[in-house]
Chains A and B, each alone.
Chain A
Amino acid sequence: MSVKYIPVQWNFNKYFYDLVLLICVAVYILVFIRIGTPEAGVTRPIDGAIIRMRAFGTCAFLMLTVILCIGPLARLDRRFLPLLYNRRHFGVLTFLVALTHVVYVLNWYYAFSDISPVVGLLTTSETSGQLLGFPFEWFGMLALVILAILAFTSHDFWLAFLSAPVWKRLHLLIYVAYAAAVAHFALGYLQDATNPFFMIVAGGGAVMVSVLHLAAGLKASADGEQAHKGEWIEVGDPTVIPDGRAIIVRIKGNERAAIFRNGDALSAVSNACAHQNGPLGEGRIIDGCITCPWHGFQYRPEDGCAPAPFTEKIPTYDLRLEGDTLLIAAKAHPPGTKVDPLTVPERDA
């Protein structure tokens, strides 16, 4: 949470996260160049520039695959949520690794000529209409441009400037980047290489990303639609909500509310965090505040406002009881509207 924009608000978890990322990339590049390549049975050594462009290109692809696995993994098993916490740094580092790959390509395949590398990139890879030989470089360029946009807009300034829903939609372009990267490899390296292991790593990664998203999507779609009673939606027995936790209620379409219990008080807020649309209902009440499971943004349950000096606000909902049944209003209040908490009815043991 922030009241002013500073480049990175460092903490122990971010240091640990970034350290692991840098170790992964350094290990990948070093193992590829120093240990793996000398084991390849070659008559004469492969060019150093080509080894490095392969190392950085395949590393970026692996990083992108892991990034896309984090979201569904965190959905399926909450213990993976820490991976999601600093995923933006993962994305920025992936862009830098992919950019290094491109620099090696331009300085080798597109160099030593009177033709400008950029002009060459846009003109020499002609398509002859068939799949084989289709200019796979175009897909690589598309993936890189998207990664550049995402890296550039990864800061909270852009999140606030664009608004969370727009920023979120923009960053869903990561899937387009991944599809483009898969096409880049499939039409280029995979068709060319006699290397079955890369096919396994690349294909297996793409399959894993798809399966995890399918599983997470199935889990999410299992949330049933609640029964509507005019302006109110039937939720059910309020006593089943664990203390300090929430249940998530689908209001309509993709709109969801989170009903939190804080002791014997019930409050309902939008399920979408104002920061990155994180699922607040999967969070906890910490120090009296609803705490987002993604990045720890906090809101007071009764009015959806972040505690001072922070300024984020989320919509709130009215709650009422009809007998023992809890109902939530189908229409949200504007962000930051105070709603008196509802007291949980006492039950006989």
Chain B
Amino acid sequence: MSNKRDDSFFIGWAAPPSPLRWFMVAVAGFLIVLFAFSAYVIAATQADPGGGSFRFDWGRQNVVGVLSLDPYPVIHVTESERFPAGHALLLSGNGKRGVQERAEPLDGQLVQASGVIINRGDIDMLQVRNGEAGLSAAEGDAATPIESEDLGRWRIAGEICDGKCYTGAMRPGQGLAHRACANFCIIGGVPPIFVSTVPVEGEEFLLLAGPDGGPIPDELMAQAAILLEIEGQVERLGDLLVFQVDPDTISVF
């Protein structure tokens, strides 16, 4: 009869036999190293989210310009300490909200706007303050019409993003992981942009519009954040390219 403990037999409620004890310590050490190594290699190889960000270091920006409502609210600057006349500023509200309702009565008028800038390369978005201090009619009239130029029909490869996160409100603010957020922003009225894989007329991003020149149709939501090709009419509005896309021409890579 043998009730003697087998050296390799583990019973949870009893002290482990000596050889097994050292094996358990070795396994514990291996797991800790495995977790540390995995964390390091995954974290250290994260992709660069780009150089976009809120420019709180620029302070509050006050601009005067002509507001155009379609497809999304944009101010074409006439007076600003930082931006040259003619520069287009995309507009957004706080969080994942646009400013359509506030901008609607001011369409085509000279307005003054105040807020914080989000900047990435050539793109600038103004997150306007709440109330009239953020966006209101300015004295004077929009005597100078915004210059527009039809650049013809283009088929462009790229990604549909929301203009706020891509510009730097989130880092990274594009890609599949960010897709739901992009949808939240676009549904909320933040201007969507098309980020092209190659520059179009010198620009890497274009403000998106629907085929009728208004906001993009809902069916494009499901296509946000993925690499695709789409056709549409490109128009230069001031220094901003507007891409009136035709949803029927989409092909996904």
Are A and B a genuine interacting pair, yes or no? yes
Given known pairs A46-B49, A79-B8, A109-B178, the reply for A243 and B38 (CB within 8 Å) is no
Report B-chain residues with C-beta under 8 Å of the C-beta of A269: none
Tell me the nearest residue of chain A to B183, going by C-beta.
A124
Given the known A-B contacts A27-B36, A198-B42, A285-B3, are A44 and B51 also in contact in the complex, defined by CB atoms under 8 Å? yes
Task: State the Cβ distance, B102 to closest chain A Cβ, in Å.
Answer: 15
- Min CB distance, A251 to chain B, in Å? 25
Contacting pair B222 A37 (CB below 8 A): no
Q: Give chain B nearest CB distance to A243 CB in angstroms.
A: 4
Give A28-71 as 1s and 0s: 1 = Cβ < 8 Å from B's Cβ atoms.
11011101110111111111001100110011001000100000
CB distance from B52 to the nearest CB of A (A): 7
> Closest chain A residue to B227 by CB distance?
A132
- Known interface pairs A50-B171, A192-B177. Does A66 touch B31 (Cβ–Cβ under 8 Å)? yes
Selected interface stretch from A114-122, A151-159, A217-225: A114-122
A-B contact count (CB 8 A): 233
Q: Across the interface, name the chain B residue whose C-beta is closest to A14.
A: B12
**List of B residues within 8 angstroms of A191 by Cβ:** 176
**Docked complex: B188-240 residues within 8 A CB-CB of A:** 188, 221-223, 225-227
Contacts of B46 in A (CB 8 A): 37, 40, 42, 46, 54, 193, 195
Is B50 within 8 A of A82, CB to CB?
no
Any A CB within 8 A of the CB of B172 = yes
Q: How far is the CA of A45 from the CA of B46 in the complex (A)?
A: 11
* Alpha-carbon gap, A149 to B96, bound state (A): 34
From B42, B177, B223, contact of A128 by CB (8 A): B223
- Which of A162-170, A174-182, A286-294, A334-342 binds B? A286-294
B187 proximal to A (CB < 8 A): yes
A32 contacts which chain B residues (CB < 8 A)? 39-40, 42-43
Query: Measured between alpha carbons, how far is A114 from B53 in the docked complex, in Å?
Result: 23
CA distance A32 to B36 in the complex (A): 8
A137 CB contact (under 8 Å) in B4, B40, B180: B180
Known A-B contacts A24-B31, A50-B172, A82-B20; A293 and B43 likewise in contact (beta carbons under 8 Å): no
Asked if B28 contacts A20 (CB within 8 A), the reply is yes
Indicate if the CB atoms of A28 and B222 lie closer than 8 Å.
no
A292-334 interface code vs B (CB 8 A; 1 in, 0 out): 0111100000000000000000000000000000000000000
Cβ–Cβ contact A286 & B41, under 8 A = no
B42 and A58 form a contact (CB under 8 A): yes
> CB-CB < 8 A to B178: which residues of A?
109
Whole-angstrom CA separation of A195 from B172 in the bound complex: 14
Residues from chain A with a CB closer than 8 A to the CB of B23 are: 79
Residue of B nearest to A11 (CB): B13
Contact with B along A255-282 (1 / 0, CB 8 A): 0000000111000000000000000000
| Additional pairs, 9, CB under 8 Å, beyond known A36-B43, A62-B34, A195-B45 | A27-B32, A27-B36, A32-B43, A35-B43, A42-B46, A44-B52, A54-B46, A85-B10, A195-B47
Interface CB pairs A-B, < 8 A, 23? A13-B12, A35-B40, A39-B40, A40-B44, A54-B46, A55-B43, A58-B42, A66-B31, A78-B9, A79-B8, A82-B16, A85-B10, A109-B180, A113-B95, A124-B183, A128-B223, A132-B252, A133-B176, A133-B222, A195-B42, A198-B45, A284-B6, A293-B10
The 8 closest A-B pairs by CB, nearest first: A36-B43, A263-B1, A112-B95, A39-B44, A128-B222, A109-B181, A31-B39, A192-B176
